[in-house]
Amino acid sequence: MKSFLKNLYFTNRLYYIAIVIFVLFIIGHYVEFLFLIGKISITVFSAIFIVDFLMLYNSSINKIKAKRIVPQKLSNGDDNEIKLSIKNNYSFPVNYKIIDEIPFQFQKRDFEIKGKLSAKDEVNLNYILRPVKRGEYSFGKLNIFIVAKIGLISRRFTFNNKHIVPVYPSFIQMRKYELLAVSNRLTDVGIKKLRRISTNREFEQIKDYVQGDDYRTVNWKATARKSKLMVNQYQDEKSQSVYSIIDIGRTMKMPFNEMSLLDYAINTTLTISNIAILKHDKAGLITFSKNIDSIIPAQRKNSQMKSIMEVLYKQKTIFPESNIEIIHNTIKRKIKQRSLLILYTNFEGFPSLERQMPYFKSISKKHLLLVVFFENTELKKITDKEAKNVEEIYIKTIAQKLAYDKKLIVKELKNNGVHSIITKPEDLTVNTINKYLEFKAKGLI
């Protein structure tokens, strides 16, 4: 009985009826007819209440079966589908309200799903969660409140369907770009189609000439032997090393759209590493701040993406300022072959670049260095907004000065032979892939 009462809840309908009966009794002290109606009402109400109670509690076994189906891991920054399955074993239709104890990181305190379920029927539902931080997320109990047709009371069914699910870097984004790359549809998501302007290609085979082949690739010796036109077929030069170098210092802790710059860089690193391997290049990873945090040598083995994902999953921003000198020395010692180095960092002022420029110039002499940093979208909002008073003029002037510093940074990097991208966080992946494919088209790697 105690467990029954624990899961017994009164609905608003019951409270409204109780208030009406109470009012009838109060007024009935002055009007005898209303007092009689009140007595009859409470008798009828009690009988209906008992019937409603017996309908919901007519068996000790669970008349409602439910489960939550959660993926083995969630994708950071993406919409992840959580599935629910509910079966009604009652012989009559019921209304349900689902309150799922979702992880506290989402801060959804009003989460509920309502609906109606026919007798002996089953329904499959789903809802979407978008995590914005990596780490472990704990799902609690699944609570379902059932109301019969009378609707005076509600019975709670609790399912101890607890889950602890890790949130990994955006593997959904990685798979999307992988599918588009394999099907040659990268232009669908803003990736530019570039005309190849380099001859930096490897010989693959000799094949029969077909209409449309470049006549300059005709192999005249093979043509003479076969007595038909034969052409040389070439392929992109393979096995180039592509290193993603991620600054995990305090400048990467800045949030945009609830995600930190570090998480944007991590999601893009996962995608660009996978694209590089699909293009038959080798992908590697270095993370650093005050010291070197992790190194994965560039390789193209089957387990490389798994190794990169596991390291990226564990990365956290720290507060000391990053040491570019230590990454410069590490590259000099560890990376002997000319490689594409994609450095994800951030500069909020021109002086911070000036301190690092000697190291960038030194690295770019031996490797193809691409420095990726971020446009401050909040500053753009301020500079685009009309100033209406002295304070707003002052704020807008400062914002314009900081925005101008970003342009100076791009110009200074270019003048020193260092490639760069300044991008909005949400456009980071597309812009980085575009630059990588541009380098491949130009034969720079």
Q: Give residue 22's domain range.
A: 2-56
Q: How far apart are CA 42 and CA 175, in angstroms?
A: 63
Q: Which of 250, 258, 246, 244 is nearest to 76 (CA)?
A: 258
**Contact in structure between 302 and 263 (CB atoms under 8 Å):** no
| 94 and 46 belong to one structural domain | no
Please check whether residue 200 lies inside any domain of the structure.
no
Q: Which of 107, 126, 108, 125 is nearest to 116 (CA)?
A: 125
Q: What is the CATH number of the domain that holds 332?
A: 3.40.50.410
Specify the number of domains making up the chain.
4
Please check whether residue 201 lies inside any domain of the structure.
no
Please check whether residue 337 lies inside any domain of the structure.
yes
**Contact in structure between 153 and 52 (CB atoms under 8 Å):** yes
| 332 and 312 belong to one structural domain | yes
| 185 and 227 belong to one structural domain | no
Residue 295: predicted pLDDT: 95
| 118 and 219 belong to one structural domain | no
Residue 37: predicted pLDDT: 72
Task: Write down how long the chain is.
Answer: 445
Token pair belonging to 307 = 């190794």
Cα–Cα distances (Å) from 220 to 40, 201, 204, 332, 337, in that order, read 109, 20, 17, 45, 36
Residue 185: predicted pLDDT: 58
Please check whether residue 32 lies inside any domain of the structure.
yes
Please check whether residue 242 lies inside any domain of the structure.
yes
Residue 163: predicted pLDDT: 87
Residue 198: predicted pLDDT: 45
Residue 183: predicted pLDDT: 58
| 214 and 226 belong to one structural domain | yes
Please check whether residue 312 lies inside any domain of the structure.
yes
Residue 235: predicted pLDDT: 59
**Domain boundary pick from 56, 72, 96:** 56
Q: Cα dihedral sign for 25, 149, 49, 4? A: negative
Strand order in the sheet with 122-129: 64-69, 80-88, 122-129
| 336 and 190 belong to one structural domain | yes
Q: Nearest 5°: phi and psi at 62?
A: -70, 120
Per run of 10 residues, the mean pLDDT along the chain (length 445 residues) is 59 72 66 68 79 79 88 95 93 92 88 91 94 94 90 87 92 86 59 53 71 77 84 70 94 88 95 92 94 93 93 89 91 92 88 87 94 85 82 83 84 90 91 89 78
What is the DSSP code (8-state) at residue 218? B
Token pair belonging to 173 = 């984004």
One-character DSSP codes across 155-208:
EEEEE---EEEEEES-HHHHHHHHHHHHTT-GGGGT----------EEEEEEEE
| 337 and 428 belong to one structural domain | yes
Residue 108: predicted pLDDT: 85
Please check whether residue 117 lies inside any domain of the structure.
yes
| 52 and 111 belong to one structural domain | no
| 75 and 183 belong to one structural domain | no
| 411 and 307 belong to one structural domain | yes
Q: What is the CATH number of the domain that holds 97?
A: 2.60.40.10
| 325 and 210 belong to one structural domain | no
| 153 and 180 belong to one structural domain | no
Q: What is the mean pLDDT of the chain?
A: 84
